[in-house]
Structures are given as structure tokens and as C-alpha cells.
């Protein structure tokens, strides 16, 4: 290039001022439509980016040698204290933001002590959460002959990541931070393809083999030692917007899975039905009714149930 040649001034092919005006108009139109108004003193909204960093620190505090960077037992306690302090202080900020958001939505006053109380109870629950996750990892190791160690499960398996996130999110959900809990569950979903609502109740020794495509709804209740395979759905039946409950009502609408149940790949179980203890649900089965304990339901049997039910309705 000729050094003596004059520099060319390239005009940007967009009009930032016009775009900014258009975006402002769209924002204000949405706020008017939803009866929203920005409140003085409300600074921000829980941040997915910050929550991801907090999850990294919480994982390191729970498993300092495998998910953290502790070096040897002598360093472990100091390391855990450091990452835990950082995680809890950052999480307190996010919980404050959520509670401020809900106070604006509900027109109720924000109480600082509520955020502190949530964090105090959450922090106190971490040892129990760690013990519960240990049962999940052990169940995965015992249930998958391809795994060479529990360490491989914890570090590599998507089910371990999804369950760690769920155990943390479920506790926050129950303590009164459902928005942050939902952010945590969606982070796990984006990383693993496993979608567990933080409201779902799940017992010990839970194992999702492979995992991609699993969906577990908000009011699902899962007992102990349950195993799911990929693409299993524990969902709700379609809700009518003009029905008596309405789509926003928080009522029990997802399955109950009792202890020691195995559900194979592609099975879909919808509504508040109960799958009895010790049952096995075959691949690609569609169920919308209860299953007795210690049953074995195959795809052919499921089709027969549907046909019988249809005949009864037409009779």
C-alpha cells in the first residue's frame, strides 16, 4: 500500500441514532403493554453470566479436587473457604436483585433481611446437597458398566452436571429465589440437553443415562433409585387457556415416579399419574394413566391400553 495515499474514511452502513430510537420505542411500547415502569433504585436484573460464575465456584466448593483446583488435602480447606465466600457473596447480590424485581412486580416492599435469610439457609444446606449428589454419582457408576470410576462420572457425564445444577437450583427454588433457580436449570439445559425444572422433587441415587432430551416438569415427584434414559418426558397434558385452572395456575400436573422405577428411552408420561414402585417402562411408551407397582409396560401394551380406553369412550 502506498504510504503517501490518503486514509479513506468509511461511513458505517447503519444509522445508530435511528436504530436506537426504534429500540427505545419498542421498549416503551412493551412496557406500556405489560404495565411496566422502571423504578428508581432498582438497578438491574439477575445476571445469567454472574450465575454461571457462581455455579463454577459452588461446584469447586462441593468437589474441590475434581471440579476445583485444590492441590492436596492441606490446601483443601483454605481453597474451599475462598471459593465459597466468593460464591455466596456474589449469590447474595443476585438474590437481592431478584427480590427487588419481585417487590416491584407485586408492589410490596423489598426487605433486605429476606435475601440474607435465603443465603443463610442455602449455605447451611450445602453439606446435605453434597451428600445427596454423592448418591447420584454412585448410582451412575453402578448403573453404567462403561464408567471406569466415580471421578469419570463426576467430571465427564452430563447427568452429573445436570443433577448438581438441579440440587442447587431446587434448594434456591424452595427458599424463595425461583428466578435464579430457573436460570441455573436453563444453564444446565443448554450444556447437557437435560431440562429439569427446579421445582421438581427428586430423591436420592438418581441416574439419567445418556440424558439428552430428558424433560422433567415443575411438579414432578421422583422417588429414590430411579433411572431414566435419554428422551424421557415427565410432562403435563395440554392446558386450555380458558380452562378452570388456567395456564398460569401452580397445581400438580406432572407425574409421580415411585422408588426403584426404570424408564427407558423415548418414553412419554403425561399428567398427574403415578408409576408404581419397582416398575419398568419400556422405550417409546406413551402413558397418561397410573401404573401399578412392579409392572412392566411395553410399547405394545401401551397401545393396547389406549385402544381399550378409546373403545370405552366410544361405547
pLDDT for res 31:
84
Shared-domain flag, residues 124 and 232: no
Shared-domain flag, residues 84 and 136: yes
Task: Give the integer Cα–Cα distance in Å for 278 and 257.
Answer: 10
User: Into how many domains does the chain fold?
Assistant: 2
Mean pLDDT of the chain: 89
Give the pLDDT band of residue 306 (cuts 50, 70, 90): low
User: Does the pLDDT at position 107 exceed 80?
Assistant: no
Give the pLDDT band of residue 106 (cuts 50, 70, 90): confident
Q: Would 39 be classed as within a structural domain?
A: no
Q: Would 160 be classed as within a structural domain?
A: yes
Q: Would 7 be classed as within a structural domain?
A: no
Shared-domain flag, residues 183 and 223: no
Shared-domain flag, residues 51 and 189: yes
Q: Would 187 be classed as within a structural domain?
A: yes
Shared-domain flag, residues 189 and 76: yes
Shared-domain flag, residues 177 and 241: no
Which contacts (CB < 8 Å, 24+ apart) does range 197-204 have?
Answer: 198/166, 198/169, 198/170, 198/172, 198/173, 199/170, 199/173, 200/166, 200/170, 200/234, 200/254, 201/170, 202/163, 202/166, 202/170, 202/226, 203/259, 204/132, 204/135, 204/136
Q: Would 202 be classed as within a structural domain?
A: no
Give the number of other CB atoms < 10 A from CB of residue 221: 17
pLDDT for res 2:
55
Task: Give the integer Cα–Cα distance in Å for 69 and 61.
Answer: 10
Longest dimension (CA), the chain: 93
Lowest average pLDDT, out of 33-42, 188-197, 202-211, 285-294, goes to 33-42
CATH number at residue 185: 1.10.3130.10
Q: Would 169 be classed as within a structural domain?
A: yes
Instruction: For residue 281, give Cα distances in angstroms to 257, 264, 272.
Output: 11, 6, 16
Shared-domain flag, residues 233 and 300: yes
The better pLDDT of the pair 206, 240 is held by 206
Shared-domain flag, residues 169 and 219: no
Helix (H, G, I), strand (E, B) or coil at 269: strand
Range of the domain at 48: 44-193
CATH number at residue 230: 2.160.10.10
Amino acid at each position: 500500500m502506498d504510504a503517501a495515499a490518503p486514509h479513506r474514511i468509511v461511513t458505517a452502513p447503519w444509522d445508530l441514532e435511528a436504530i436506537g430510537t426504534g429500540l427505545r420505542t419498542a421498549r416503551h411500547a412493551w412496557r406500556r403493554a405489560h404495565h411496566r415502569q422502571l423504578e428508581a433504585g432498582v438497578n438491574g436484573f439477575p445476571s445469567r453470566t454472574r450465575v454461571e460464575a457462581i455455579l463454577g465456584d459452588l461446584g469447586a466448593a462441593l468437589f474441590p479436587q475434581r471440579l476445583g483446583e485444590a492441590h492436596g488435602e492441606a490446601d483443601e480447606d483454605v481453597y474451599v473457604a475462598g471459593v465459597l465466600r466468593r460464591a455466596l457473596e456474589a449469590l447474595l447480590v443476585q438474590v437481592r436483585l431478584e427480590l427487588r424485581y419481585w417487590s416491584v412486580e407485586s408492589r410490596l416492599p423489598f426487605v433486605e433481611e429476606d435475601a440474607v435469610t435465603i443465603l443463610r439457609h442455602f449455605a447451611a444446606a450445602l453439606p446435605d446437597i453434597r451428600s445427596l449428589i454423592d448418591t447420584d454419582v454412585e448410582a451412575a457408576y453402578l448403573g453404567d458398566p462403561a464408567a471406569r470410576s466415580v471421578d469419570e462420572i463426576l467430571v465427564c457425564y452430563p447427568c452429573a452436571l445436570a443433577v448438581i445444577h438441579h440440587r442447587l437450583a431446587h434448594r434456591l427454588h424452595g427458599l424463595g429465589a425461583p428466578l435464579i433457580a430457573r436460570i441455573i436449570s436453563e444453564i444446565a439445559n443448554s450444556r447437557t440437553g437435560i431440562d429439569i425444572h427446579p421445582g421438581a422433587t427428586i430423591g436420592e441415587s438418581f441416574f439419567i443415562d445418556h440424558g439428552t432430551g430428558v424433560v422433567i416438569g415443575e411438579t414432578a415427584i421422583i422417588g429414590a433409585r430411579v433411572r431414566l434414559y435419554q428422551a424421557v418426558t415427565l410432562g403435563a397434558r395440554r392446558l386450555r387457556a380458558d380452562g378452570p385452572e388456567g395456564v398460569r395456575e401452580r397445581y400438580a400436573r406432572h407425574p409421580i415416579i415411585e422408588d426403584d422405577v426404570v424408564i427407558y428411552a423415548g418414553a412419554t408420561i403425561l399428567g398427574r399419574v403415578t408409576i408404581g414402585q419397582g416398575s419398568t417402562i419400556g422405550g417409546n411408551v406413551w402413558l397418561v394413566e397410573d401404573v401399578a407397582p412392579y409392572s412392566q409396560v411395553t410399547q405394545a401394551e401401551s397401545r393396547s391400553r389406549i385402544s381399550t380406553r378409546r373403545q370405552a369412550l366410544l361405547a
